[in-house]
Structure 1
Amino acid sequence: MPRTDWLDRNALYTPDAPGLVWGPTGETYTYAELHRAGERLAAGLAAQYDLSAGDRVAVLAENTLEHVLLFCAAQKAGYVLVPLNFRLAPPELQYLVDDSAPHVLFASADFRDIAEGLELDAPVAPLDKVGALMESASGTADTDSPELDDPLMILYTSGTTGRPKGTIIPHKMLFWNSVNTELRLDLTAQDRSFNAAPFYHTGGWNVLLTPFLHHGATTYLFPSFDPGAILRTCDEEALTILWGVPTMLKMMADHAAFDEVTLDTVRYAVVGGEAMPEPLIRTWQDKGVPIRQGFGMTEVGVNCFSLPARDALRKIGSIGFPNFYVDAKVVDENGENVPPNTTGELLLRGPVVTPGYWRNPEATDAAIDENDWFQTGDLVTVDEEGYYYVVGRKHDMFISGGENVYPAEIESALYEHPAVDDAAVIGVPDEKWGEVGAAFVVPDGTLTADAVTAHCREHLAGYKVPTHVRMLDALPLGDSGKVDKAALRDHFDDS
């Protein structure tokens, strides 16, 4: 039976091994110290706030050691961690706390005033009180209280299709995500990586941090993404795995420190969120770091697909194959399987699928069918060798003159132009064709809209060629580092 408490065993097996290192200062928690801290904090929370299994603990803060310690306590005692997006406006945060109904909200000093301005029937505590709670605790946590199907976290989606939905993350999901990650990425206790993704995002917890805690590996935690600091940490601390969305890898490659470091100990870099442009893949390959494209989502895992590093260039743009304990199929609008090289919606099933959305049975029923298939909303194709390719989101696809157009396909063609540094495409209304493409391009040097259009005509069918081309200094990014296409739509409407 999978365990809900991982730290007790790692504290027994490798008590002196570093589990968590605070990147800015080097402050370190060994596995024995993480285990003791989790036990004492769980007990302190119960004593101070009368918490029991199932009670929610919200956090409003950038990445901190205390955030991870609260996770350790939650995993032991069955509390439910609710990381809040600190970038949201107060009315948006109010919705999240109304929905999750936390029993206590911890806030760092930077966000204390915002937290105290929210209306909630729970105390607001300073995040730095976590240390005092551990010191004052007596006794230990009741680690027999959590069950595998019990919630461990509620992670809110970005709300691109409406109000944010709270994805329930039970203990079971983290266990199977860790197993999938180990089997496909060959994780060991000797691996060392960084984490700079915000904790309100699934990647911050579940790409490598929780699999590392399960396997006894070492995570260097940063409050936010600092490409220079992370590159230097790679060499100074002999990191073995890098990860991030393509934007993060590009920021690292463009940083002056990229030419200063060797990255000799890095086995590979895991990239997800969206396809990584081929020139950027080659930049990292030339540095000696293979790229492993992946795919995941908050509601499933998060590590669902992985492309072997050997195929990074041969299968450019592919997310590879489903991970070991993930079932996948691609269906048309009638739910029928599609043949190879045909676009359809990706459905996923397995023990890494969420049981649903917090207090939202309607959204749960809409997302998960009667046979437990999660409908991702992602449009994909599968080639003759079984490699999967994401071509876009269902709501991103537009119809021009009766033809389906997938922005990801146009973006891929744009990246083939040597003077295109970054690009994104959306569909916009058109009186004649219904919808047409609008391309937003960040040029690398001198580039005109006419040159972009001419390039597209050489590489794409006529109905796919963007009617509108806009030059930008940079693409707007959302909280996860992905391109914010809603902001692009607003930009187009205002132009």
Structure 2
Amino acid sequence: MGVLFDECAERGIGTGVHLDRPFDIAPDGGTAYDAAALAELVRQAAGWLAAAGAGRGDRVAIVKDNHWDYDLLACAAVRVGAVPAQLSGQLAPEVLEVLLARLDPAVLFTTADLVERARAAGVDLKSVARVVVTSDAAVPGAVALDDLRGHAAPAPHRRHEDEPLVIDHTSGTTGVPKLVVHSTRTIIGELARFEARRMPKIGARPDDVVATASSYAHGRTFCWTAVVMSVAPREVVVLTSQDPDRADPVLRAHPPTILEGLPASYVRFRPLIERLDNPFRRVRLYISTYDAVHPPTIRAYLAASRHPSPLWMDGWGQTETGPLTFRFHTRRSIAREGAATHDVGRPIPVKTGLRLVDPDTFEPVRPGRPGLVLARTSARCLDYLGESRRWERKRVGDWWNTGDIGVRGWDGSVRLLDREVDHAPGMSCVETEDVLEDRLPRAWECVLLTRPGELPLPVVVTADGELPDEDWHRARRGLPPMAEPVVLTWDEVPRTGTGKVRRLELRGQLTGRVDTCGTGRWT
């Protein structure tokens, strides 16, 4: 990964990259790049990191605003022999402090704004690394990026494929995220190399325009970076914000044929479908990762495409494992009310295996019975940095405990019910949320919070924080008993860097309680 862009430039790859705003590390560099320009930027960044003191075996923590230069900085760290750790700038300062203490980085690459926000919360980021580099402004006790520019990059360092390559964190929906350590073998050899194969219908082609709207602090985009540069589509479009008005101009200028996005990005971009110059008209493949996308959203995007048979591909997996299953939706399969998006499909042939067991005995359960989902994949991460015992508790021989409760069908497919920590016997929050979103056109999102000894609490997210009583009473007919809903706007809901709802925090915010129906042993 340290020489990825150099090799692409040497191969003459002509992919044009278009950004919705300039890179934070190159604010004067514009919004258009090719492989050679990206290679030069990574080389320059390697020089900065080396000048700051990062070298072989060191850890480099990257915490900044959301942009693809997270992955360029990670490649630069790899180039100098260091191990990059990508941490979301949306993490709370006290959480960031815990993760940085576990990392003990030689260099922390961040922003003056984040340093100040942390200081206001009582956290001194300048004390958690040997050297702190700020990209946007000078901060007392830190090194300004402008003071490091112009330093030559050292020769690229190559490491063994089983040594740590990159550290990413989990979403952190139920507390402090885990620091997931991947090697070249796991994240590149097993995940990126498989995805880079030119598979019919779902593989990128030379004439494709590939757009992504993601959280670049997470491992998915590190893998995606390797894939998208290797398969060399005609254009790549990078979206950094979930603001539809910021995304609209670049999407209209470069209409994608493949779009990958966070579930939250798909929800927020839906108003663009109704505009005169619909930017999704050429999409042949939509890709969703990180979390469930509910049927109304999928229907809207498939209908927006003018392609005769667009596909929606859902990938289910974890930061620790990469994708474990794929499920495809078409206009026809998602047309009826009640179409299940929580059916995650079958394990990826040859690559992954799934097994459902009783959470107490770990004995296999029969098809049709709820069980804890175990996964087997050679892409499994090496460890949780600073929490090796926690990693060991989730390893069951060659199997990995996902912490999800699901049901296996007689055809081998798996339907997810809930995270074990949130699961209440006799119902599925995910399934109920699917139905509620189908029946509530005004809803941007529905979240069902389970509570021990009490009725589940539904939270409905709308544009204005309003929901007519008659709409709710019509929507809840035939569903399990629930409390009266709480209606919120999007910004009132606590979220992770990937847009997932922090259910534990939301439950505490609304009820004053954080206890759950599950045990939480495998979060």
* Sequence identity percentage: 23
Cα distance in structure 2, aligned partners of 1:160 and 1:66: 25
Following TM superposition, by how much is the alpha carbon of 1:232 offset from its aligned partner in structure 2, in angstroms? Answer: 3.6
- Whole-Å Cα distance in 2 between the matches of residues 470 and 416 of structure 1? 18
Q: Aligned match of 1:326 in 336, 352, 361?
A: 352
Q: Which amino acid aligns with 1:483?
A: V
* Alignment correspondent of 1:362: 389
Relative to structure 1, is the Cα distance of residues 252 and 122 closer, same or farther in structure 2, using a 3 angstrom cutoff?
same
Q: Which residue of 2 aligns with 1:209?
A: 225
Which residue identity lines up with residue 246 of structure 1 in the other structure? P
Q: Structure 1 43/274 Cα, relative in aligned 2: closer, same or farther at 3 Å?
A: closer
1:266 paired residue among 283, 289, 301: 283
Q: 1:173 and 1:240 mapped to 2: Cα distance?
A: 29
Q: TM-score, normalised by structure 1?
A: 0.84
Write the distance in 2 (CA, Å) between the matches of 1:68 and 1:444: 33
Deviations 1:131-154 (A, max 9, x none): 77563206x42333x121222222
Give 1:125's match in structure 2, choosing from 133, 151, 162. 133
Provide structure 2 residue ranges, at least 5 long, that are not aligned to the other structure: 23-29, 137-143, 514-523
Residue 316 of structure 1 is matched in structure 2 by: 340
The residue identity in structure 1 corresponding to 2:386 is: R
Determine helix, strand or coil for the equivalent of 1:405.
coil
Alignment of 1:63-462 (within 5 A): 63-64=66-67, 66-114=69-117, 117-118=124-125, 119-127=127-135, 133=148, 135-137=150-152, 140-144=154-158, 146-175=159-188, 176-183=190-197, 185-206=202-223, 208-217=224-233, 218-255=235-272, 258-288=275-305, 289-301=310-322, 303-310=323-330, 312-313=333-334, 316-317=340-341, 318-324=343-349, 325-333=351-359, 334-371=361-398, 373-398=399-424, 403-419=425-441, 421=443, 422-429=445-452, 434-442=453-461, 452=472, 455-458=475-478, 460=479
Equivalents in 1 of 2:391, 2:214: separation in Å? 27
Q: Does the CA-based 8 Å contact 1:107-1:115 persist in structure 2?
A: no
Matched residues in 2 for 1:489 and 1:31: separation? 46
Query: Structure 1 residue 262: deviation in Å?
Result: 4.7
> After superposition, what is the alpha-carbon deviation per residue over 1:154-206, rounded to whole angstroms, capped at 9, x for unaligned?
22234444433211122223212223434563134544333443333334434
Q: Could you tell me which of 55, 70, 82 is aligned with 2:58?
A: 55
C-alpha distance in 2 between matches for 1:339 and 1:269:
33
Q: Which amino acid aligns with 2:458?
A: A
Q: Deviations over 1:104-139 (max 9, x none)?
A: 11123432435783222411112266677563206x
Asked whether the 8 Å contact 1:196–1:221 carries over to 2, the reply is yes
The count of residues paired between Structure 1 and Structure 2 equals 474
- Following superposition, the deviation at residue 394 of structure 1 comes to 0.2
The one-letter code sitting in structure 2 at the alignment partner of 1:291 is W
Amino acid at match of 2:455: V
State the Cα distance separating 1:375 from its structure 2 match. 0.7
Paired with 1:471 and 1:65, the residues of 2 have a C-alpha distance of: 34
Q: RMSD over aligned Cα, in angstroms?
A: 3.1
SS at match of 1:93: helix
Whether 1:482 and 2:500 are equivalent positions in the alignment is yes
Amino acid aligned to 1:177: L
CA deviation after TM superposition for structure 1 residue 102, in Å: 0.8
Deviation at 1:230, TM superposition (A): 2.6
Aligned to 2:519: none
Question: Residues 136, 441 of structure 1: CA spacing in aligned structure 2 closer, same or farther, 3 A cutoff?
Answer: closer
Q: Which has the higher contact order (CA 8 A, sep 6+)?
A: 2
Q: Residues of 2 paired with 1:444 and 1:96: CA distance?
A: 34
**Secondary structure at 1:313 match in 2:** coil
Cα gap change, 1:492 to 1:60, in 2 (>3 Å): closer
Change (3 A) 1:44 1:438: closer
- Tell me if the contact between 2:57 and 2:83 (Cα under 8 Å) persists in the aligned partners: yes
Query: 2:25 maps to what in 1?
Result: none
1:77 and 1:369, CA in 2 relative to 1: closer, same or farther beyond 3 A? farther
| 2:9 aligned residue | 11
- Cα 1:258–1:151 change in 2 (3 A) is farther
SS at match of 1:276: coil
2:344 maps to a residue whose letter is I
The Cα of 1:477 is off from its aligned counterpart by 4.4
- Cα distance per residue 1:37-70 (max 9 Å; x no partner): 4345435533x13432221111221134643331
Alpha-carbon separation, structure 2, partners of 1:353 and 1:312: 32
Q: CA deviation at 1:258?
A: 4.2
C-alpha spacing 1:130/1:177, structure 2 compared with 1 (3 Å): farther
Residue ranges of structure 1 left out of the alignment (5+ in a row): none
Distance in 2 (alpha carbons) for counterparts of 1:150 and 1:376: 24
Q: Distance in 2 between matches of 1:227 and 1:80?
A: 34
SS in 2 for 1:375: strand
Say if 1:467 and 1:109 are closer, same or farther in 2 by CA, change over 3 A.
closer
- The aligned counterpart of 1:28 is 32
Contact 1:247/1:482 (8 A) holds in 2? yes
